[in-house]
Structure 1
Amino acid sequence: MNKWSYKSSLLGLLALTTSLGSVAYAGEPPLPTDPVVTRSLESQDALPRTAFYSTPSDIATALPGALLKHESAANYDLPKGFTATRILYRSTDSHGQPVATSGVVVVPPGKAPEGGWPVIVWAHGTSGTAEMCAPSLMKDVYYGSLRVFDLASAGFVLVMTDYHGLGTDGPHQYMNKYAQVADIRNAVPAAHALMPELSQKWFVVGHSQGAYAALATAEAETKANDAGYLGAVSIAPAARPGMMNANISAVKKAGGPYMSWLAFAIKAQYPEFKPEDLLSKKGLKFYPEATGGACWLTGNALYYPYSAKELVRPDWNKNKYVKQFFAEQTVGYEKTLGPILLVAGGGDTTIPIRTLNSYYKDACHLGSDIKYLVVPNAEHGAAMVESMDTQISWLKSVLAGNTPASSCPKN
């Protein structure tokens, strides 16, 4: 359960509409800050992790994108008539090693259009770093309350990747563009192996961590040049992780679990890195549970009393592994392939709009094709909800062969 689905449940709402976007940033109920309460809430939304998620012993012989397992899943809270199938497929981590990645393929009701259902690979936002934090292990698939199934209702099959290490054997390589791009791109052939009748045409759509991964996928496609790839929708991406954290000493609000997850991510990329070189004693206090035994809501509750500044060492951003991670994981310094719809929340305090403005300026300068939409006053989750109709219109237009208008200034 993420913070937005918690809020909508608390309000007694069964589904989000565009009007609920205002609830996500104005007059919203407070998040629970008692870990006992949040553990209970996450448990209520959780599905059991079964042997399905175990990595096959012969994974090294499978090709990237190979479908390893699949099973029908009837325990998700889906719109009427939708069907879901869990998949396990072969992907690659950032070190080039074979890994198993899980996900869910969601199919809307009705007859497929001529040429087959077009595909959207859905890339979710931060859920946590523990195995239990896979969206496929949540009844609402983590984003059910944020209108994600509207994308399928619009005539697309959703291929919802968990990212490896969530659900499957870890570690999850959090905010690692190389790992997440591999999981996104390998989900496409896996879905076709499950449903050969799918169209070859596909998009990537993501929010937050997943929006960052969507931009990285668009960059990777300049080399991969997949003929079926049509473009990306990126909502509130963490495009400049270094920029977001550079002025952390000025952050006065609760720091949340992000610095623990950052330490976990750097450790997953560089095994010789020590989390204690980034985190303070207060930051390390809940590190084991936040990274291995809790998801977003509980992670936030654990660290709620502390400001971001309190959770890190004074010299944390001078560490060579931290600096290297930020340098390697930033997007916007390579040209992208295909059009991009970039969405920012005008009131987003999680991903400050200045970081998206920086990405947009650099990407436009490189010749990327970007339509930039700022949703006035919208917080992080509301940017997803309130832009949904625009997202769908943009996707359908590109699918129809139209060239969307770019916001980039003409040189």
Structure 2
Amino acid sequence: MRRLVGVLVAVGLALGVVSAGPASAAIDSSGSAVILPPDQDPFYVPPADYGSRPNGTVLRSREITALAYVMPIPVHAYQVLYKSVDGHGAPVAEAATVLVPYTSWTGPGTRPLVSYQIADDSLSTRCQPSYTLRVGIGSPTGVGSYEVSMSYQALLRGYAIVYADYEGPHSQFAAGPQAAHGVLDGMRAVLHHAPAGLDPNTKITLWGYSGGGLATTWAAEQQGSYAPELNVVGAAAGGVPAELGAMLRHNNGNLGAGLALLGVIGLARAYPESGVYGILNDRGRALFATNEDACTLDVAVLHPFDRIENYTTIADPIDSPQARFLIDTNNPGQATPRMPYYNYEALQDEFVPAALADGLLKDYCADGGTVKKVRIPFSGHITGEVQGGPGALQFLADRVAGKPVTSDC
């Protein structure tokens, strides 16, 4: 096992998907401009009075060059820092990147906007899309660049795309309310950023997979109450961790154990009042401290088949009051999306059992939701994203076009 893990780490370092240490400044594709990571870049520091401003207010902006690995993406690319609130209602400043095709929109109405939630799944701002889109292959995680490539077909259709740093400035992985607010306020911000040329009333769709599917689902559920003015006409979410307690049990001691540990660290960070820090043993405190700036594979590659209870003073932390607080607060299913919701799951998913989303869809149907259910046979987690992506985008395109949808409820 140690040899296998060593090989995985070596391959990850060679491909640039596992970071070897703390973030440092990167060089842009021209070889001249230095791109600072977010924790060193003054762009991300909000003005002193930002907390009193309305959610979605643009605090500052800049035009950037967005990279697909090493090649500039041929679009207008802007970043906005905007005001939002975290899961406790405290003000936070978050960044969003919007890509707008050079060509004019020739379809009916105004240019649509897709909010694409990358599966950030990290504990560091250097893993978030506002940074990874600028440094491309120089990113400390390959996940961002790979996932951005999944969304390019939307650009080819003429849609604008926004990628929000929805985990917030403290990288609160798996925190549902934080993600919902970050996504919805990111859309508010780019719609009112004049250089992007978007109509505030244009049609919007939500799209994401895995951790991005969780953020998409939370945003879809909360849009009606948190940002009802947004014209969201459809949402597509795949690989959705629809029941966090079951997700922890499924991955604990299995291949996805590192992802489970990432989620625990992210949720404990978002909700210190949960008491998780109080049940950590020495190994747990070291794990939290060592990975406070980790990207996805920094933890996932090093902890396959690990167990959460190896890091706690109690035998079954998943069934503890601390875990139950985190699960109840961050499980999707808190509300039913008002827009049509498309869910696609791989039936052989190693990390996210499709049955978890089945239960969520039943709840939506019982509450009057409009649901499309797609299940992909003979596919695992990654292949399911690739196979399911075109259908998800077509569903969203049909909502933009105003086509009727028949619910699978």
Q: Same fold (TM over 0.5)?
A: yes
Aligned to 2:332: 331
Does the 8 Å contact 1:87/1:104 carry over to 2? yes
Q: Quote the Cα distance in structure 2 between the aligned partners of 1:235 and 1:31.
A: 26
**TM-score in terms of structure 1 length:** 0.81
1:134-179 deviation line (CA, Å, top 9, x unaligned): 12211348443242222222221111001253xx3x2x33222211
1:291-316 deviation line (CA, Å, top 9, x unaligned): x2221121223334734564554231
Give the root-mean-square deviation of aligned CA atoms. 2.8
Q: Which amino acid letter does the alignment assign opposite residue 64 of structure 2?
A: A
Aligned to 1:111: 104
Aligned length: 372
Superposition map of 1:129-144 within 5 A: 129-138=123-132, 139-140=135-136, 142-144=143-145
Aligned to 2:204: 202
Q: Quote the Cα distance in structure 1 between the aligned partners of 2:155 and 2:22.
A: 25
Aligned to 1:295: 295
1:45 Cα deviation after fit? 11
Q: Quote the Cα distance in structure 2 between the aligned partners of 1:378 and 1:108.
A: 33
Q: Which amino acid letter does the alignment assign opposite residue 218 of structure 1?
A: A
Aligned to 1:192: 191
Aligned to 2:95: 102
Q: Quote the Cα distance in structure 2 between the aligned partners of 1:333 and 1:52.
A: 34
Aligned to 2:116: 122
Aligned to 2:156: 153
Q: Which amino acid letter does the alignment assign opposite residue 97 of structure 2?
A: V
Q: Quote the Cα distance in structure 2 between the aligned partners of 1:186 and 1:319.
A: 33
The alpha-carbon distance between structure 1 residues 192 and 61, as it changes in their structure 2 partners (threshold 3 A), is same
Superposition map of 1:9-408 within 5 A: 31-32=8-9, 38-40=18-20, 47-49=35-37, 50-74=41-65, 76-77=67-68, 80-113=73-106, 115-138=109-132, 139-140=135-136, 142-146=143-147, 147-165=150-168, 168=169, 170=170, 172-195=171-194, 197-199=197-199, 200-223=202-225, 224-226=227-229, 228-246=231-249, 251-253=253-255, 255-271=257-273, 273-275=275-277, 277=279, 279=280, 281-290=282-291, 292-304=292-304, 306-307=306-307, 310-311=310-311, 313-408=314-409
1:60 Cα deviation after fit? 1.5
The alpha-carbon distance between structure 1 residues 363 and 281, as it changes in their structure 2 partners (threshold 3 A), is farther
Q: Quote the Cα distance in structure 2 between the aligned partners of 1:124 and 1:104.
A: 12
Does the 8 Å contact 1:260/1:287 carry over to 2? no
The alpha-carbon distance between structure 1 residues 280 and 236, as it changes in their structure 2 partners (threshold 3 A), is farther
Q: Which amino acid letter does the alignment assign opposite residue 339 of structure 1?
A: P
Higher alpha-carbon deviation: 42-51 or 68-77? 42-51
1:323 Cα deviation after fit? 0.7
The alpha-carbon distance between structure 1 residues 265 and 107, as it changes in their structure 2 partners (threshold 3 A), is same
1:392 Cα deviation after fit? 2.1
Does the 8 Å contact 1:346/1:374 carry over to 2? yes
3-state SS of 1:219 partner = helix
Does the 8 Å contact 1:364/1:370 carry over to 2? yes
Higher alpha-carbon deviation: 310-319 or 30-39? 30-39
Q: Quote the Cα distance in structure 2 between the aligned partners of 1:404 and 1:155.
A: 22
Does the 8 Å contact 1:102/1:164 carry over to 2? no
Q: Quote the Cα distance in structure 1 between the aligned partners of 2:303 and 2:384.
A: 25
Higher alpha-carbon deviation: 206-215 or 36-45? 36-45
Q: Quote the Cα distance in structure 2 between the aligned partners of 1:225 and 1:54.
A: 28
1:166-216 deviation line (CA, Å, top 9, x unaligned): xx3x2x332222111111111122112213631421111112222112222
Q: Which amino acid letter does the alignment assign opposite residue 240 of structure 1?
A: E
Does the 8 Å contact 1:259/1:311 carry over to 2? no
Does the 8 Å contact 2:82/2:189 carry over to 1? yes
Q: Quote the Cα distance in structure 1 between the aligned partners of 2:397 and 2:215.
A: 21
1:96 Cα deviation after fit? 1.0
Q: Which amino acid letter does the alignment assign opposite residue 234 of structure 2?
A: G
Does the 8 Å contact 2:348/2:379 carry over to 1? yes
The alpha-carbon distance between structure 1 residues 329 and 175, as it changes in their structure 2 partners (threshold 3 A), is same
Q: Quote the Cα distance in structure 1 between the aligned partners of 2:357 and 2:115.
A: 22
1:282 Cα deviation after fit? 4.1
The alpha-carbon distance between structure 1 residues 353 and 296, as it changes in their structure 2 partners (threshold 3 A), is same
The alpha-carbon distance between structure 1 residues 129 and 227, as it changes in their structure 2 partners (threshold 3 A), is closer
1:271 Cα deviation after fit? 3.7
Q: Quote the Cα distance in structure 2 between the aligned partners of 1:381 and 1:79.
A: 25
Higher relative contact order (CA 8 A, sep 6+): 1
Does the 8 Å contact 2:85/2:91 carry over to 1? yes
Q: Quote the Cα distance in structure 2 between the aligned partners of 1:90 and 1:332.
A: 26
Does the 8 Å contact 1:333/1:362 carry over to 2? no
1:8-35 deviation line (CA, Å, top 9, x unaligned): xxxxxxxxxxxxxxxxxxxxxx843688
3-state SS of 1:158 partner = strand
Does the 8 Å contact 1:254/1:308 carry over to 2? no
Does the 8 Å contact 1:276/1:284 carry over to 2? no
Q: Quote the Cα distance in structure 2 between the aligned partners of 1:303 and 1:393.
A: 37
Q: Quote the Cα distance in structure 2 between the aligned partners of 1:122 and 1:208.
A: 12
Q: Quote the Cα distance in structure 2 between the aligned partners of 1:308 and 1:269.
A: 18
